[in-house]
Amino acid sequence: MMKLGFIGLGIMGKPMAKNLIKAGHELVVYDIVKENVDILVEAGAVAASSSKEVARQCDIIITMLPNSPHVKEVVCGENGILEGAKEGTIIIDMSSIAPLASQEIAAACAKKGVKMIDAPVSGGEPKAIDGTLSIMVGGEKEVFDKVYDILMAMGSSAVHCGDIGAGNTTKLANQVIVALNIAAVSEAFMLAKKAGVDPKLVFDAIKGGLAGSTVMNAKIPMILDRNFKPGFKIDLHIKDLNNAIETGHKVGSPLPLTAQVMEMMQLLHADGLGQNDHGGLVQYYEKLTGDEVVSQ
Mind telling me the catalytic residues?
171
Closest CA to 63 of 1, 113, 132, 114: 114
Q: Are strands 133-138 and 3-7 parallel, antiparallel or unpaired?
A: unpaired
| Position 83, amino acid | E
Per DSSP, the three-state class of 159 is strand
Closest CA to 45 of 64, 24, 70: 24
Burial of 198 (0-12, 13-18, 19+ CB in 10 A): middle
φ, ψ dihedrals at 180, nearest 5°: -65, -35
d(CA 261, CA 280): 12
Q: Which helix (DSSP H) or strand (DSSP E) does residue 135 occupy?
A: strand 133-138
Contact 140, 162 (CB under 8 A): no
Q: How does DSSP assign 170-186, residue by residue?
A: HHHHHHHHHHHHHHHHH
| Position 48, amino acid | A
Per DSSP, the three-state class of 255 is coil
What is the total residue count of the chain? 296
Contact 57, 187 (CB under 8 A): no
Return all residues near 276 (Cβ < 8 A) that are at least 6 apart. Answer: 228, 230, 233, 234, 268, 283
Cα end-to-end distance, the chain, whole Å:
53
Contact 161, 138 (CB under 8 A): yes
